[in-house]
Amino acid sequence: MPTLLDKVWIIPAVMAASFLLILFLGKRLGTKATAGIGIAAVSLCLVFSVITAGQWINRVNHPPTGEALASDIRQANGLTPQTPEEIESEINSATKDSGETVGAGDAQPSSESQAATESGAATTSEGGHSSEGSHETVPPVVRTVTWFEIGPIHFEAGTLVDGLTAMMLVTVSIISLLVHIYSTEYLRGDVRYTHYYAFLSLFTASMLFYVMSSNTLQMLVGWELVGLCSFGLIGHWWEDKKNSDAALKAFLTNRVGDMGLIIGVTITFFAAGATSFNVLHINEYALSPGANTTLLLVGALCLFGGVTSKSGQFPLHTWLPDAMAGPTPVSALIHAATMVVAGVYLIARLYAVFFEGLGIGSSSLHYVAFIGGFTTIMGGALAFAQTDLKKVLAYSTISQLGYMVMALGVGAWTAGVFHLFTHAFFKACLFLGAGSVSHACHHTFDMREMGGLRKHMKSTHITFLIATLALAGIAPLAGFWSKDEILAGAQQGQEHAYTLMLVFGLITAFMTAAYMGRAYWMTFWGEYRGHGTPHESPKVITIPLWILAICAVLFGFLNLPAFFNAPSWATTRFEHFVEPTFAFPAVEHPEFTPWLAVVSTILAVAGLAAAYLYYERNKGPHGLTQRNRLAKGGYTFLENKYYLDTLYTDIIAADTKGPLARAAYWFNQNVLDGIIDGASAVTKKVSGVVYHGVDQMVVDGVVNGTGLVSEESGQFLRRMQTGKVQQYAAILFAGVVVLAGVLVFVV
Amino acid sequence: MLINQFLFLGAILFCIGVYGVLVRRNLVLVLMSIELILNAVNINLVAFGAMWHATDPANLSGQVFALFVIAVAAAEVGVGLALVLMIFRNRQSIDADDVDLLKG
Amino acid sequence: MTFAWDAPSVDFHALAPEIIVAATLVILLLVDAFTGEDQRWASSSIAGIGLLVALIPIASLAYDGTTRIMFGGGYVVDNYALVLKALFLLSGYVVVLLSTNYIAEGDYWEGEYYQMILASVLGMMVMASARDLVSIFVALELLSIPAYMMAAWRKRDLKSDEAGLKYYLMGVFASAVMLYGMSVIYGYTGSTLLADIAPKIGALATSTPLVTLGIVFVVIGFAFKVSAVPFHTWAPDTYEGAPTPVTAFLAVASKAAGFVALLTLLFVGFWPRHDVWEPLIWVLSAATMFVGNFIALRQTNVIRMLAYSGIAQAGYMLAPLAVAGASPEAASQALHSIVIYLVIYAAMNLGAFAVVLAVARKTRSAESDSFGGLFSYAPGLTVCMSIFLFSLAGIPPAAGWFAKLGIFQALASAGTTSGYVLAVIVALNSVIAFAYYGRLMRIMWMEDAPDGDVSPIRVPWSITAALVLTVGVTLVWGVLPGLVTHFTDPITLLAVGR
Amino acid sequence: MKDFLNSWGLSLAIFVPLVGAVVMLVIPKAKEQLHKVIALATSLVVALVGVLLLANFAYDDGKTLQFVVNKSWIPFINARYELGIDGISLPMIALTMLVVPLCIIYSWNHFPEPKNPKAFLILILILETGMIGTFCAQDLILFFVFFEVVLLPMYFMIGVWGGEKRRYAAMKFFLYTLFGSALMIVSFMALYFLSDKVPVAGGGFAHTWSMQELPVAAAGISTTAALWIFGGMFMGFGIKVPMFPFHTWLPDAHTQAPTVGSVILAAVLLKLGTYGFVRIALPILPHAAEKWAPFIGLLAVIGIVYGALCCLAQTDMKRLIAFSSVAHMGFVMLGIATLTDFGINAAIFGMVAHGLITGMLFFVAGSAKERFHTLDIARLGGMLKQMPRMGWILGFSAMASLGLPGLAGFWGEFPAILSAYNPGGNLNAGLFRVYMVVAALGTVLAAAYLLWLYQRVAFGTPKEEFAHDPHVHDVTFTEYVAWVPMLVLIVVLGFFPNILFHVTNPAVTHMVSAMGLGS
């Protein structure tokens, strides 16, 4: 039957349409209609995405076979049947199935005009890889049309749908939808309401476009477009220079990474035979025995440059905290749930390249894993030093992104992607919660001006708590499962374990819990320290929070480990449906390890507890002493408690928060940030020198100089024209003598 | 026949003429110096003419040329003197150095 | 012994143009003698008509196309001569047009003036046909002596006197030097007939210093005429001092005559010794281009600027001669390119002078500043002037580009390094040159009138006619150069040619 | 119809503007409205001809010349009136025919001081003739003539209608270009004489100027000679592009020129140089090109970084845009220097894209200047607040200019970078990969200076001096009419690059294979 899998291009198209509609009609239609258009469009996308996902699941359950399979594989590799008999076989094979009836379904003339390389390779590669993977090969659905042609090559644009894509589609559209709804209240009466919604739509469109691209070039397009939207939305309130600076910083830092991306795309293109940007084609090449590993290594490193900037990995993460200058819903959508994971998605998508290129599992070079691990621990430490709620969340995001990258780095593909999935929901929930809080407290995010909000805003409080626990990784919330898989992956590794990464992971597990606890208590407990009386936000805001909270609770079970002997339809569904089985390296799947789960949970709880006690104490030594004076009986007990306090506070928490975090933060602000800003400053200086020193003086000087010289020589020659006729005669005769002399005696 | 001494004479006259043209301040004398050069030319022509006539009686072009030169020279000097006269009328001087309104 | 004298056969058809001009001269004389002051206007028209009528036999001769040789080869009427005679007649006619009002409004002797022009033109026409040292010399003097007088025509004006005097002294001095050279040449070859000279000096050992000396002297005599550096010194002063129409005449016609003589001498007479004159010309040409352009950069007087630009242009025209000896093809390329250049140069330069005249009628000055804001009150003249300047700078679509192209082509056709180097020098100079052409254009287009006076200029019909003629020619030839080459194609010079 | 186009189409396209100019010449200066109408009508007629040409162009056969006219012009030197367009010239011609009418519309009531629309419009029309002619010419001499004809109107446009330092700028522009073309013509000459003779119509053999015959005829030229000849052409075209270090005329010319002048300069004139490389230098002297390519590539990447750095140092918006042109043309030249079908396709796309985008930027700059009477970046600000639409358009153009994927600029930059990864011929891949990295760095700098510009001009709040200035109004109708087509094209080309690649690719591929450098 005609499936949506072949027509996913509709989904971003819808959003693009809504973008144009809002951009050009928004002002006239007014705010309500604007939001309406946006929400309607996203809902439509959500429906489509869910259908797509459903059909993918169906496809996995009833995988294509025989010729259908072959033709799908050929298309996946960006190949089409060329010789007549092949076409022949295509036709009688592809009955009413996807085949090319669907390709024709696309707006433009399609597959017919695609590049041809021998399709023998396709079938062999198919044979090669169908055996691998946990279950039989289910090739992604790739539908392409010719995009442009250079030389003999036809470059195709197209859509690629597999589990990963479907998952991203659903995630993005859910969160985008909620953010759309949420913003109607949050942005009420904003100066640039329509622009805001226009950008939201554009962003959603680009993000969806990005995740369904069938080739790296297209991904590059989507990648840059989301960057553009992030620029526009961070700088949403550009009257304030601080914001526009943040926007610029974000864009430029990403641009630096993109440099790597562009070169990486180039290298992989040429490595894979300079015939196509097709993702699967490149993966195929990376996995093929004859692959040039050096090229792959360089290519992967360059690509990782892009990841580093986009997904806030060390050392290009500094733009992300500044990006909090944008409206909170934006932070939730772009800088927590979706855009920043584009980098992770890139690794997941081109996993073969990274796997082979960086020798994940085989070699001892754990570049990806290490960067991820370092980022996660660093981000966690930094989160302590923040008093701004959103900044805490921002650093937490960095830390979690590090987690995902680390997971992919240790070969735990499913774990990483699963964490991406779960993290999207609870982190979005946290951000939106924070937004709701600041909505209540006169748009401040300074936690020192909050506190005791649990009394005033119930829903926000509860949802925030749930999300916090999820993030902290308390069983059985979503975060627990994904985090635990990652740890397991690090512990069991591929050919050998990644102990260092495991340690990183565990430390982070503790820190995450701790700083989230800190944020939670500072915000919702104690006395309200701000001014005015906070109030619960309206339904438009709370309902999305609830939805997200529920997701944060439930989605963990999507990948219930086989360890709990639940029926097979319930376990490892995520892995089963999302993990690619085509052009995908053979990765080990970590087993669920109870002791690890326990340890991590304990650490998380400990972290929460530490935070709890520490901030209890901070709240009122005065009250304590009161009780000291009054209740002598419980003195020892209190004292003991005090000991505990000291223990937790001065040793654990303080050491974590104090020197370490401060040092890290200092390093971050002064060194890393310094480098970024310094770089720009230096560039400006250099540019000044180049322009004034070189261009105007030397290059231009030479030009004007020649002019001057000729003028002067003219002036000099002029003086020989004295007006004395006999001198003229003399000159004449001198000329005669000299010339005659030379010609007679020399020549 | 020997021709060199004629040529020497011509050359010397030529040099004297050039010298006069270059250093004499009095325009009339400058004109006369030019005449000297022309006479040098004539001597050359006549001498050569005689030389070639000796070998080939029909060859008279040397002499003819000389005649032309003399005639034209006369015309030239006529014009020249007229110009000098005009200069003298306009500025009561025939010093070549005074004539330098136009320069640069 | 006795000489049997038989009268040489005279081909009157061949001589018709010269005869007509001479006749016109006589008529003018008579008219001038027997009419009163009030009919003097007639003389200009008569002169003009005479010059035009003289074109008729030229046309018929060209149509006839046979080469006519007279006086034992001393006087030849071939395509080369015809093209150039036509050129002289036409530029003479334009000069007459330019002079009409100028002379009529100043209190000068009108009749005599036109007689001088005719005489000079006659000399040039003879020069175009002369193939004998004697006739070349006579032609030279015939075209020079009237020019001396014309230069000093404004007799009460000190500058004019000075112009005349300088031109005269330098001219006579140069021709004296040239004569000395001729005498030497004659001495070694025993003939004044170029056709006979060539083989003889070719036969002589190349190491005969005196022949070299003679060649150098003769070449220099004409280098003076074409105002090549360092024999150019007279030009700026004379041009500035002389009456503007006369300046135009000198800058175009007499310079062309100089080139004609040079071409005839080098290609017919001294061809075998191009080893001597090629380097000589190379140096002259390069020096002429640079000096002319550099000094022109600093001029504040338009006429003087044009004078120096004319010097530079002479440098361009000399350039092909410097490589002409490389091969027959190069030689014919050089010949054609120079003739084409002369033709086009005549058109554009006369045009430029016409505009200067027209403007000076209002501003009474030729200083560059007086051209300020010309565009605002005389757009027509400005556009014309711009066209001529662009043409001089060699920028399409004005004809000048084709002339320059010919030069480049001739230089490249030699295929020698010296040729390419000279070509690059020409290229550089055409850039330098634009600096001052452009400056004048800037003044006209982009600056304001020095004295706020923006009353339009009344251009007399004669100058208008001259402008129409020159602009038309400049543009049409620029777009369809085929029209020029159509005439210049068939020209040859004895051995040289296609 | 087709036959008519075949024989007359190109000649019409070239000379209709001239006819219009002549007509305007005779109409008195006072009738300004009439002049505008005639000028616009003329340019529209030309555009119409262009549309017909586009409609009748055989795209699949883009590699062969079409609408060929080949008539005798100067028999003496065997220069012919030879016209024809293939996939390489077509986009350029289309661009010209689009930009000129837009410029006329834009200047409808934007005439710079001193007004005098008659002269101004006549110059524009002459300019159009020159530009279209250059792109159509298939004969070196004809090419040279049109190439030079373009100079004059631009010289006057800058000199008469320009800014304060206009005279200096105009003169510099002219002398610089003249210098280049003078050397160029010398090398044309050398080419003419050193190449073999070819049979001519009338029988017999003669040297040729035809760009079609020369690639074969010039094969025999000795390497040294070829190198020198290429050098001459390099000067001629390189100055026009302009390549570092011959670029210094550009900032002055751009800054001083009137808006329309800048637009045409950026949109079309700069392309004459790059077009010359693609059309003449490379095909005729492929091996010399191969020798020169590393050097050209070097200058190109220097230009990219250098231009960007200079941009960062600018205080004047227009000057900044001018320097950005240096950087962008650097990408184009890099593409050409790789001598690959990839690079050259990219280069042509880059030319068109740069034409549209930088043209737009200059339009906006011009309109801003007209409202604020200054382009001093320090004094501007808050454009988005005062005139949001123009602010958006500026932002859009800036984004396009920094090569944002999905907009036209990207397709000029990325493939150029890509092609540098493995250059054609026997070029040193390692070297060019270094170039590639440097060029990629250039994209970052491009983002830097454009966003920096945008932040200071559009973000923030308006400065006091202009906050309540009544002159500062949002985009006007005429501006919309002039801009919308370009904006739309930028997007369309960004998403459907094949519109252009499909046209250029056959011609480029054919050319590259004809160059016959192994790879």
Which residue in the set D160, D170, D193 is minimally distant from C412, CB to CB? D193
Identify the residue among D78, D144, D178, D181 best suited for mutation to test binding to C, counting C beta carbons within 10 A and taking the highest. D178
From A366's Cα to the closest Cα of chain D, the distance in A is 25
> Cis omega before residue A315 (within 30°)?
yes
Residues D60 and D78: beta-carbon distance below 8 Å: no
Q: Which of A270-274, C491-495, D247-251 has the lowest mean pLDDT?
A: C491-495
Domain extent listing, chain C? 274-498
Task: Give the whole-angstrom CA distance, residue D129 versus residue D139.
Answer: 16
Contact C13/D at CB under 8 A: no
Chain C residues whose CB is inside 8 A of the D145 CB are 396-397, 401
Sequence letter at residue D289: A
For C263-272, what is the mean pLDDT? Answer: 88
By C-alpha distance, which of D192, D187, D154 is closest to D172? D154
Task: Give the whole-angstrom CA distance, residue C158 versus residue C242.
Answer: 10
Task: Give the whole-angstrom CA distance, residue B42 versus residue A80.
Answer: 100
Task: Give the whole-angstrom CA distance, residue C32 versus residue A296.
Answer: 101
Task: Give the whole-angstrom CA distance, residue C192 versus residue C134.
Answer: 7
Task: Give the whole-angstrom CA distance, residue D162 versus residue C243.
Answer: 38
Which residue in the set D385, D410, D443 is minimally distant from A259, CB to CB? D443
Chain C residues whose CB is inside 8 A of the D141 CB are 405
pLDDT in tens, A568-614: 777 777 877 888 877 787 777 777 888 888 888 888 888 888 777 76
Under the phi-then-psi rule, with left for phi > 0, alpha for psi from -120 to 50, and beta for the rest, what region is D116?
left
Residues C168 and B95: beta-carbon distance below 8 Å: no
By C-alpha distance, which of A262, A263, A229 is closest to A247? A229
Identify the residue among C376, C421, C434 best suited for mutation to test binding to D, counting D beta carbons within 10 A and taking the highest. C434
Q: What is the pLDDT of residue C259?
A: 93
Q: What is the pLDDT of residue A2?
A: 61
Which residue in the set B22, B101, B102 is minimally distant from A726, CB to CB? B22
Q: What is the pLDDT of residue C138?
A: 93
Task: Give the whole-angstrom CA distance, residue D362 versus residue D365.
Answer: 5
Q: What is the pLDDT of residue A672?
A: 61
Exposure class string for D370-409: b at 16+ Cβ within 10 A, else e: ebbeebebeebbbbbbbbbebbbbbbbbbbbbbbbbbbbb
Q: Is the model's pLDDT at C219 over the cut of 50?
A: yes
CB contact under 8 A, D171 and C395: no
pLDDT band for position C49 (50/70/90)?
A: very high
Output the CA torsion sign for A630, A635, A639, A641. negative
Q: What is the pLDDT of residue A85?
A: 53
Under the phi-then-psi rule, with left for phi > 0, alpha for psi from -120 to 50, and beta for the rest, what region is D78?
left
Alpha-carbon distances of A276 from A72, A153, A179, A301, D67, rounded to whole Å: 17, 8, 37, 20, 35
Q: Which of C369-373, C489-493, D400-404 has the lowest mean pLDDT?
A: C489-493
Task: Provide the H-helix boundaries in C106-233.
Answer: 110-129, 133-151, 158-189, 194-203, 209-225
CB contact under 8 A, A735 and C177: no
Contact A726/B at CB under 8 A: yes
Q: What is the pLDDT of residue C23?
A: 94
Q: What is the pLDDT of residue C295?
A: 87
For D50-77, what is the mean pLDDT? Answer: 87
pLDDT band for position D353 (50/70/90)?
A: very high
Task: Give the whole-angstrom CA distance, residue D253 versus residue D173.
Answer: 6
From C231's Cα to the closest Cα of chain A, the distance in A is 5
Provide the number of CB pairs (under 8 Å) joining chain A to chain C: 79
Q: Which of A147-151, A699-703, C276-280 has the lowest mean pLDDT?
A: A699-703
Q: What is the pLDDT of residue D244?
A: 80
Topology, domain B25-95:
Helix Hairpins (1.10.287)
pLDDT band for position C4 (50/70/90)?
A: low
Chain A residues whose CB is inside 8 A of the B22 CB are 726, 729-730, 733
Q: Count of CB atoms within 10 A of residue A36's CB?
A: 17
Strands C75-77 and D66-74: unpaired
Please give the span between the terminal C-alpha atoms of chain D, in angstroms, as a whole number. Answer: 43
By C-alpha distance, which of C52, C19, C31, C21 is closest to C111? C31
Sequence letter at residue A347: I
Task: Give the whole-angstrom CA distance, residue B67 versus residue B50.
Answer: 14
Residue length, chain D?
519
Which residue in the set B21, B23, B103 is minimally distant from A722, CB to CB? B103
Identify the residue among A704, A736, A745 best suited for mutation to test binding to C, counting C beta carbons within 10 A and taking the highest. A736
Two tokens, residue C62: 């060209």
Q: What is the pLDDT of residue A666?
A: 62
CB contact under 8 A, C168 and B79: yes
Q: What is the pLDDT of residue D426?
A: 84
CB contact under 8 A, A722 and B18: no
Q: Is the model's pLDDT at A531 over the cut of 80?
A: no
Q: What is the pLDDT of residue D234?
A: 92
What is the overall mean pLDDT for chain D? Answer: 88
Strands D66-74 and C68-70: unpaired
Cα–Cα–Cα angle for A459, A461, A467, rounded to 5 degrees: 100
Which residue in the set B45, B79, B90 is minimally distant from C183, CB to CB? B45
Chain A residues whose CB is inside 8 A of the D342 CB are 150-151
Chain C residues whose CB is inside 8 A of the D228 CB are 420
For chain C, the C-alpha Rg in angstroms (whole number) is 22
CB contact under 8 A, A747 and C166: no
For chain A, give the percent of residues with pLDDT over 90: 1
Q: Count of CB atoms within 10 A of residue A734's CB?
A: 13
Alpha-carbon distances of A221 from A87, A254, A261, C399, rounded to whole Å: 33, 14, 11, 53
Q: What is the pLDDT of residue A110?
A: 35
From C286's Cα to the closest Cα of chain D, the distance in A is 16
Q: Is the model's pLDDT at A413 over the cut of 50?
A: yes
Which residue in the set A723, A736, A744 is minimally distant from C220, CB to CB? A736
Contact C322/B at CB under 8 A: no
By C-alpha distance, which of C142, C143, C141 is closest to C176? C141
For D133-140, what is the mean pLDDT? Answer: 92
From D319's Cα to the closest Cα of chain C, the distance in A is 23
DSSP code per residue over C239-268: HHHS-HHHHHHIIIIIHHHHHHHHHHIIII
Two tokens, residue D514: 């004809």
Task: Give the whole-angstrom CA distance, residue C24 versus residue C14.
Answer: 17
Residues B52 and B62: beta-carbon distance below 8 Å: yes
From D149's Cα to the closest Cα of chain C, the distance in A is 6
Strands (E) located in A170-249: none
Q: Which residue of D has its CA nearest to C431?
A: D179
Output phi, psi for A157, to 5 deg.
-110, 145
Task: Give the whole-angstrom CA distance, residue D459 versus residue D383.
Answer: 7
Chain B residues whose CB is inside 8 A of the C233 CB are none
Identify the residue among A711, A737, A744 best suited for mutation to test binding to C, counting C beta carbons within 10 A and taking the highest. A744
pLDDT band for position C342 (50/70/90)?
A: very high
Two tokens, residue A673: 């940030």
Residues D150 and D131: beta-carbon distance below 8 Å: yes
Domain extent listing, chain B? 25-95
Q: Is the model's pLDDT at C81 over the cut of 50?
A: yes
Q: A670 or D74, which is more confident?
A: D74
Q: Count of CB atoms within 10 A of residue C108's CB?
A: 16
* DSSP one-letter code for A213: B
CB contact under 8 A, B51 and C168: no
pLDDT band for position C313 (50/70/90)?
A: very high
pLDDT band for position A107 (50/70/90)?
A: very low
Which residue in the set A718, A732, A733 is minimally distant from C295, CB to CB? A718
Contact A149/D at CB under 8 A: yes
Contact A730/C at CB under 8 A: no
Q: What is the pLDDT of residue D125?
A: 93
Q: How far is CA B46 from the centre of its chain?
A: 15
pLDDT in tens, A112-150: 333 333 333 333 333 333 333 345 677 888 888 888 888
pLDDT band for position D516 (50/70/90)?
A: confident
DSSP code per residue over A365-406: --HHHHHHHHHHHHHHHHHHT--BHHHHHHHHHHHHHHHHHH
CB contact under 8 A, A714 and C295: yes
CB contact under 8 A, A149 and D342: no
Q: Is the model's pLDDT at A96 over the cut of 50?
A: no
Contact A732/C at CB under 8 A: yes
With a CB-CB cutoff of 8 Å, which residues 213-242 of chain A face chain D?
Answer: 217, 220-221, 223-225, 228, 231, 235, 238-239, 241
CB contact under 8 A, C172 and B76: yes
pLDDT in tens, A23-65: 888 788 888 888 888 889 999 989 988 888 888 888 888 877 7
> What stretch of H or E contains A141?
strand A141-150
Task: Give the whole-angstrom CA distance, residue A525 versus residue A209.
Answer: 43
Q: Which residue of D has its CA nearest to A251?
A: D447
Which residue in the set D75, D149, D166 is minimally distant from C396, CB to CB? D149
Sequence letter at residue C64: D
Q: Which residues contact A423 (CB under 8 A, 6 or more apart)?
A: A337, A341, A400, A403, A404, A471, A479, A482
Which residue shows structure tokens 């026009």?
A: D240
Chain D residues whose CB is inside 8 A of the A220 CB are 405, 414
With a CB-CB cutoff of 8 Å, which residues 196-215 of chain C face chain A?
Answer: 209, 212-213
Q: Is the model's pLDDT at D347 over the cut of 50?
A: yes
pLDDT band for position C482 (50/70/90)?
A: confident
Sequence letter at residue D230: F
Q: Is the model's pLDDT at B1 over the cut of 70?
A: no
Q: What is the pLDDT of residue A632?
A: 46
pLDDT band for position C319 (50/70/90)?
A: very high
Output the CA torsion sign for C462, C467, C470, C472. negative
For A664-684, what is the mean pLDDT? Answer: 66
DSSP code per residue over A37-63: HHHHHHHHHHHHHHHHHHHHHHHHHS-
Task: Give the whole-angstrom CA distance, residue A250 versus residue A228.
Answer: 10
For chain A, the C-alpha Rg in angstroms (whole number) is 32
Q: Is the model's pLDDT at D469 over the cut of 80?
A: no
Sequence letter at residue A171: T
Task: Give the whole-angstrom CA distance, residue D219 versus residue D150.
Answer: 31
What is the overall mean pLDDT for chain A? Answer: 76
What three-state secondary structure class fits D475?
A: coil
Q: Which residues contact D377 (CB under 8 A, 6 or more apart)?
A: D314, D315, D316, D317, D320, D453, D456, D457
A698, A702, A705, A706 alpha-carbon torsion, rounded to 10°: 180
C and D touch with 3+ CB pairs <8 Å, answer: yes
Could you tell me the pTM of the whole model? Answer: 0.86
With a CB-CB cutoff of 8 Å, which residues 678-707 of chain A face chain C?
Answer: 707
Q: Count of CB atoms within 10 A of residue A388's CB?
A: 17
Task: Give the whole-angstrom CA distance, residue A267 versus residue A702.
Answer: 41
Domain extent listing, chain A? 364-599, 715-746
D6, D11, D13, D19 alpha-carbon torsion, rounded to 10°: -140
Contact A719/C at CB under 8 A: no
> What stretch of H or E contains D286?
helix D286-312
Alpha-carbon distances of C141 from A140, C127, D57, rounded to whole Å: 99, 10, 66
